[in-house]
Structure 1
């Protein structure tokens, strides 16, 4: 008997977001565009965590906003259970939004200072009244506070009465209120202390099992992403340049940019620091208004050749690895992909928790 093919819960294809640049006051003329996201493809399976990493400005947060429909894509599709949600509106979009929630980066600005914790967490029930009867909402909110590790008696307190880690727990509780299937976490621990980061990551890990959640986890800390993710996608200048299982990306990277990122990860062990090879990239990240031809990483890549300026590399398993199954046989957008261990074994480890 042939096993049934399981459809991804999210399928992103050719996702593009360009912000127009205009000049003129009365008559505006477009003179260019900021290509924040310029052709992103990935899938998310049920119960899976997909980590997305990359430098600031590479388009990670823009992808997150499009997944929850806070931004409309310029082109491409986002399919939730086979349905393209970019074409939805009104009640149909409202129903989908109930199943895809977001945890924001900054726990200080993502909570309304004039609302109590009870009102903040219970606000989704005002928008989706069918999710909880009116008389039952206070109890539901207190249960959510308990689930995220906060005292249910704090329901009448205001955000300024909580620490950063506690505020992020409130944001997570708000995201869980409607029992979604997918949570998009946009750098949820970057504004927190290291010890608090570990607590929040462990909380997200536990909630995934308890609520059968799927995560798109966006961060720039590679060690934290490795701890929580099943697969990892590396973004550079609006595109994913390498994607694979966490072991494939961290222990067997094939794209030069991924290798450079891994070489920059702080390693606390002095002996391990001496053993690893540090890769220093030349130049700055090109402007998203003027992206290089061909491979967009070629202006900083030590492997760049004439072909890199002429041909856009496809995100696929490199030809040299297709006939040799192994951890290096994963998608990489490089004409001259080559496996290279940058961090010695176990030095990156499962840090951050």
Structure 2
């Protein structure tokens, strides 16, 4: 990958737990994000997947500076944006926009569609001349597949899929270079999900956008992503291209996630090995020692409780090369094909 447009290094976000009323004392912390590293290239899509509560949305909020990290760095074009404020931060935010998860609560019900999409121009007046804004809003509605005549309607007059298109249009208003999409299709019907994902795919080609695409649905992530990062309990445990992750997973957690992906072909479904994890996800206030997945892992040994596995290519894969030689945070990483692969090599979905 060429020089990344966005680079995240050792990103940490801890929320303090306090006790007392008059004299508050910190007694612990919720370790929502606990050392995340990744890079995003121009025009690339990085998918981030994982269970609820693993820290995906917290990472998204830190990327657009809605949350300040406890430590670590987020570099946009080489500049650490975690240290910016005022005008400098405002300038960066113009180039890093966000599409929120819930299309019903992310739009102000008291504002018309024209006002919602045009609001970024009020915050960044240099992006469009005042007399040209209404035309720009109409163009954006057309770009996302909505009738420009809807400009004076209110959010309650639209379906969920249409509202998410409005959210995407708002994100595109300032012509950003990076869009952080936090589960943009999880609240939509399956048929509408496909429409929105295809729309985002087309817009990426038209505008040269880079996406950080967060989702639960692994089939959708594979459809849109160039690379995938799998998160568990605040950390990325495996990362690689879509082919490496889906067809050659090496981390036990990734393999368990993939085994739960619905397979439409009944014949292929019969030959799939289902991996069912035991126990619950540990509390982020009490992270297990060593490998944080060891309490649910069928490969766990004494070493897993003593040593934190590094996110790197396992040495026994490094010499052989191939698609299994990608970063995996496991002491006993081993390739295992979990999802049946179609003849065209695309897998399910």
Superposition TM-score tier, normalisation by shorter sequence: over 0.9
Aligned equivalent of 1:175:
171
Contact 2:341/2:348 (8 A) holds in 1:
no
Distance 2:347 2:219 in 1: 6
Residue 18 of structure 2: SS of its match in structure 1? strand
Shift of 1:342: 0.6
Aligned equivalent of 2:50:
54
Aligned equivalent of 1:103:
99
| 2:125 corresponds to which of 122, 129, 137 | 129
Q: Does 1:85 align with 2:84?
A: no
Alignment map for 1:195-214 (pairs within 5 Å): 195-214=191-210
Distance 1:280 1:6 in 2: 39
Aligned equivalent of 1:70:
66
Superposition RMSD in Å:
1.1
TM-score (norm 2): 0.98
Aligned equivalent of 2:10:
14
Contact 2:263/2:348 (8 A) holds in 1:
no
Alignment map for 1:1-353 (pairs within 5 Å): 6-346=2-342, 349=346
Shift of 1:164: 0.3
Shift of 1:349: 3.6
Structure 2 residue ranges without an equivalent (≥5): none
- After superposition, the Cα gap between the structure-2 partners of 1:254 and 1:350, relative to the gap in structure 1 and judged at 3 Å, is closer
Which aligned runs of 4 or more in structure 1 are off by greater than 2 angstroms? 346-352
Deviations 1:236-272 (A, max 9, x none): 0000000000000000000000000000111121111
Distance 2:348 2:48 in 1: 17
Distance 1:187 1:350 in 2: 22
Contact 1:15/1:77 (8 A) holds in 2:
yes
Distance 1:217 1:6 in 2: 20
Shift of 1:351: 5.8
- After superposition, the Cα gap between the structure-2 partners of 1:240 and 1:317, relative to the gap in structure 1 and judged at 3 Å, is same
- After superposition, the Cα gap between the structure-2 partners of 1:119 and 1:351, relative to the gap in structure 1 and judged at 3 Å, is farther
Contact 2:107/2:167 (8 A) holds in 1:
yes
Shift of 1:75: 0.4
Residue 74 of structure 2: SS of its match in structure 1? strand
Contact 2:249/2:255 (8 A) holds in 1:
yes
TM-score (norm 1): 0.97
Distance 2:3 2:206 in 1: 22
Contact 1:227/1:350 (8 A) holds in 2:
no
- After superposition, the Cα gap between the structure-2 partners of 1:351 and 1:159, relative to the gap in structure 1 and judged at 3 Å, is farther
Shift of 1:6: 3.0
